[in-house]
Chains A and B, each alone.
Chain A
Amino acid sequence: MTRSEPDAVPVLALEGVSKSFGAVRALRDVSLRLYAGEAHALAGENGAGKSTLIKTLAGVHRPDTGTVLLDGRPVVLHGPADARDAGVAVIYQEPTLFPDLSVAENVFMGRQPRRSLGRVDHRAARTAAAALFARLGVDLDPQQPARGLSIADQQLVEIAKALSSDARVLIMDEPTAALTGSEVARLFGVVRTLREQGAAVLFISHRLEEIFRLCQRVTTLRDGALVASDLLGDPQGRRAPESGGSGASGGSGSTGGSGGSGGSDRPAGSGGAAGPADAADGAGAPGGRGLTEDDLVRRMVGRDLDELYPKQDTPIGEVALDVRQLTREGVFTDVSFTVRHGEIVGLAGLVGAGRSEVARAVFGVDRWDAGSVHVDGRPLTNGAPSIAMAAGLALVPEDRRAQGLVMGMSIERNVNLTALTGLGGTVRGGLMDRRAERSRALDWAVRLQVKYAALADAVGTLSGGNQQKVVLAKWLATTPKVLIVDEPTRGIDVGTKAEVHRLLSRLAADGVAVLMISSDLPEVLGMADRVLVMHEGRLTAEIPRAGATEESVMAAATGRGTTGRAA
């Protein structure tokens, strides 16, 4: 294991990089140093600037100010091709292979070994691909088509592709989000191998546990600015024998650790609890100290978490949403749960576990193959959103841009899209009542404090947070009895996030049954009266508020069994 020295020249670095999109300052004076042989984590909340930073390293964005340094020399990356030539490879969460080409052809896409007359040398490609996989220590057949490979295997093909072009820096953007536990372990094995061979790895994950398992150093971003760059310590802060600061990190139950997964890559010497967060704020804290998980969370969020999630205690009423044995072939199986009036139920799980798919089927956007859905005792028709809406169901979908809003349409019309069935009082005698439309939109825009210039402005001109408020307005205007929100705070700023949480809490207090799908675990733990957990298309756990910890939820989400049912 080649450990980087603080004074070694970083393979790839950013110095004082800023990047703005219009009025949005995505990165502010951010510096980052990636050393050979080191796995470096990039942490931060949604919208903290991680994606922009990656795209800057990958040559997609050019910094407004600041420089990109390759082996200590400033370079200008004019595009992804430049970055690739410089040895920087990016592995995305969802790989982009050509499904009908073989694994070997994908690995050497655009750089196939040639024979005379420019013919592709397939045999050489196969041999070389097999050699690459051997180097990675994985077993993949170069001749099989990419179609049908699991996402985990596809990522390995992408990694092989990166290696084949002599990548020295591997950037992995949430590679584990869609992987199972054993696939994650295999991926980490590959990454360790690469690291030992001298590659620099930049790793992004929302799972702190993985960061601590894989990485030696973490850079934290918040609101586009660098918070700190530190060496990682023991996640729990327990292991340090001489630590005086471990007491500072044991407190917060809601963010409690996930440790115990083993395979820590930190050399024994660096295990140790950090002091209070501010003590280690300088970039590149010297070896011997390390960050704990609590420290890291505090850096990402910048405040104590408990203030964020104000779920009030409200009396829980009758069953409002009753989902029984719902199955959609190959997507989710035998999902049963209820949500009561006044209750917020969290639905947790990894990306790809089938949470959004269940919500879509319940609402009727997708059909289900078996099972039933009742709202206040009334059965819903399979595949009929308009009937679900009439029964009092609302779904704030996962993808605001693709599913929630018509971006080129005005704010007013977007809010009123849910009233076209005649439920919103904006249709009179079969015709649109423009005055009623305007007052309905204005009413809800004001109630949700949407910041806009004119209701006639295209909703696409609003900021992400305000767009999300418009989606919420659009659905709250239907005065639903059951509200399903899918990732309601993804990609919105912290202030708006708190507003959304207050809003959901108030709705529950008013007797609305809320089902909240979220990948933001602290959010789920803070808001939900009960937490349902899905894993690979099945409901694997139902955990009451008292028993819900990050650990118990993640255990169920990764299929490692849980407090309720053994897996």
Chain B
Amino acid sequence: MADSSPKRAARRAGALRWDGVVGVLLLVLLLLSFGFVDGFGNALNLSFLIGNTLPIALIALPMTLLVVAGEIDLSVASTAGLSGAVMGALWNAGMAIETIIPICLLLGVVCGLVNGLLVTRLGLPSLAVTIGTLAAYRGIAQIVLGSNAVTDFPAPYLDFAAGRIGSTFVPYAFLPFLVLLAVAVVVLHATPFGRSLFAVGANEEAARFAGIRVRRHKLWLFTATGLMSALTGVFWALHYASARYDNATGLELSVVAAVLLGGIDFDGGRGTLGGAVAGVFLLGGLQNAMSLLNVSAQSQTVVTGVLLVISVLGPRVARQIAARPVALPVPPAPQTSPGPSERDR
């Protein structure tokens, strides 16, 4: 017994891991698209693909941590929209962009804090809270900017957000994303904080009994999510050279979809950032390839929807296959009363 080498562990527990499956699917998609989709492989298209997927990818980083911890934030797109709207309004008011961006990021922190405090202090479910703030933040964005579009941001910023490095396929903005990705990977997979998130998501009660400061951890996550959403809002306005109150509308669904597709368990406690990022680019790549193939928007939506159902089903099936060699013992029947009225927590 006691052979606990990582290899052995991988063989046992993860013979078929969903994040691996998604990675392979992404690879297959890229190979097929390079081979069979005209115009997919050229650098310009690839830079578009990456640039258009970056907003989803940026928010997916903190969203992954949040979902692992058993929570969710649906207000991210509205926070991004609010951040863009404030950016436009302040720019119109003549403020320097160097001042505006930190203000927008700070605003994101506040938005995240509000979500976090409502969830952790009042004990409200994050799904309900953030559906509420989804509407509220978007409403504030409209109040701030009305139906105006602000487009005349300074050229160096626009170039950075929309341009690519020379004639390569790499957008400038991809580099800071890689840095953020590395940070997120380390935080989730190598720090005590990240480790405790898995425990919180899988069994919050047990996490509390192990001395993990559950509420504080969650507050941090919501705050970080607000910050990243605001950053995404700034990027969005610059990338598309347009600050409007309705920027990034509906983006939250793409983010959640990509994260779930990447194998992050909606019930919390399971998943890897690698899987989530693969999920993001799988969705982005698929949409790009379908557009190039002139697949109608309606059909694209259908394909995305089917993928989502698969994303919820897939990890489950993968786990079952992986678990098959090791028989799952059924726990002995509990000693006393079953039934819904289990003792209060």
Contact = CB atoms under 8 A, between A and B. Distances in A.
Contacts of B210: 385, 417-418, 420, 474
Given A93-B336, A417-B199, A421-B192, A464 B206 contact: no
Interface in B205-256: 205-213
Interface stretch (B1-9, B31-39, B113-121): B1-9
Contacts, number: 169
Contacts of B205: 402-403
Interface string B310-345: 000000000000000011111111111111111101
A539 to B, nearest CB: 22
Given A26-B333, A421-B211, A408 B202 contact: yes
Interface in A455-504: 455-458, 460-461, 463-464, 474, 490-491
A441 B9 CA distance: 15
Nearest to B319: A408
A22 B345 CA distance: 29
A219 interface: no
Contacts of A422: 192
Contacts of A395: 209
B1 A92 contact: no
B191 A454 contact: no
A398 to B, nearest CB: 9
Interface residues of B, number: 49
Interface stretch (A4-12, A305-313, A337-345, A426-434): A426-434
Interface string A383-427: 001101100000101010111111111101100111111100001
Given A24-B330, A385-B208, A420-B196, A491 B190 contact: no
A173 interface: yes
Contact of B340 (A96, A399, A474): A96
Contact of A21 (B4, B13, B199, B330): B330
Interface in B150-170: none
B329 A386 contact: no
A279 interface: no
| Residue with the highest number of chain A CB atoms closer than 10 Å, among B192, B332, B339 | B332
A46 B209 contact: no
Nearest to A99: B341
Nearest to B326: A461
Given A406-B207, A457-B326, A442 B4 contact: yes
Contact of A455 (B2, B207, B339): B2
B269 interface: yes
A96 B213 contact: no
A521 B202 CA distance: 34
B60 to A, nearest CB: 23
Contacts of B6: 456
Contacts of B339: 92, 94, 96
B1 A452 contact: yes
A386 B211 contact: yes
B190 A454 contact: no
Interface string B1-31: 1111010110011000000000000000000
Contact of A438 (B4, B196, B212, B332): B4
A55 interface: yes
Interface in B168-217: 186, 190-192, 195-196, 198-199, 202-203, 205-213
A427 B192 CA distance: 7
A457 B1 CA distance: 12
A166 interface: no
Contacts of A418: 210-211
B13 A458 contact: yes
Contacts of A446: 2
| Residue with the highest number of chain A CB atoms closer than 10 Å, among B186, B329, B345 | B329
A402 B207 CA distance: 10
A420 B333 contact: no
A89 to B, nearest CB: 14
B7 to A, nearest CB: 10
Nearest to B198: A409
A51 interface: yes
B82 to A, nearest CB: 33
B199 A461 contact: no
Contact-residue bracket for chain A:
35 or more
B12 A456 contact: yes
A386 B1 CA distance: 33
A402 B326 contact: no
Contacts of B196: 417, 420
Contacts of A474: 210
A363 B210 CA distance: 10
A44 to B, nearest CB: 11
A23 interface: yes
A94 B212 contact: no
Contacts of A61: 333
A401 B4 CA distance: 24
A442 B2 contact: yes
B202 A432 contact: no
A55 B328 contact: no
Contacts of A453: 1, 12, 326
B103 to A, nearest CB: 30
A189 interface: no
Nearest to A22: B329
A16 interface: no
Contacts of B212: 386, 417, 420
A206 B3 CA distance: 42
A21 B337 contact: no
B337 A173 contact: yes
B332 A405 contact: no
B269 A406 contact: yes
Contacts of A399: 343
A241 to B, nearest CB: 40
A52 interface: yes
A399 B342 CA distance: 12
A259 interface: no
A386 B213 contact: yes
A404 B209 contact: yes
Contacts of A419: 192
A451 B209 CA distance: 24
A413 B206 contact: no
Contacts of B209: 363, 365, 385, 395, 397, 403-404
A430 B191 contact: yes
Nearest to B3: A454
A463 B341 contact: no
Contacts of B9: 410, 454-456
Given A93-B337, A94-B341, A453-B326, 6 more contacts: A93-B336, A402-B203, A408-B202, A421-B211, A432-B195, A490-B335
Interface of A: 21-24, 26, 46-47, 51-52, 55, 61, 92-96, 173-174, 177, 363, 365, 385-386, 388-389, 395, 397, 399, 401-410, 412-413, 416-422, 427, 430-432, 438, 441-442, 445-446, 451-458, 460-461, 463-464, 474, 490-491
13 contacts: A21-B330, A385-B210, A388-B211, A403-B205, A413-B195, A420-B195, A431-B191, A441-B4, A442-B2, A442-B4, A457-B326, A464-B332, A474-B210
Q: Which 5 residue pairs across A and B have the least CB separation, nearest first?
A: A456-B9, A92-B337, A455-B4, A21-B330, A22-B329
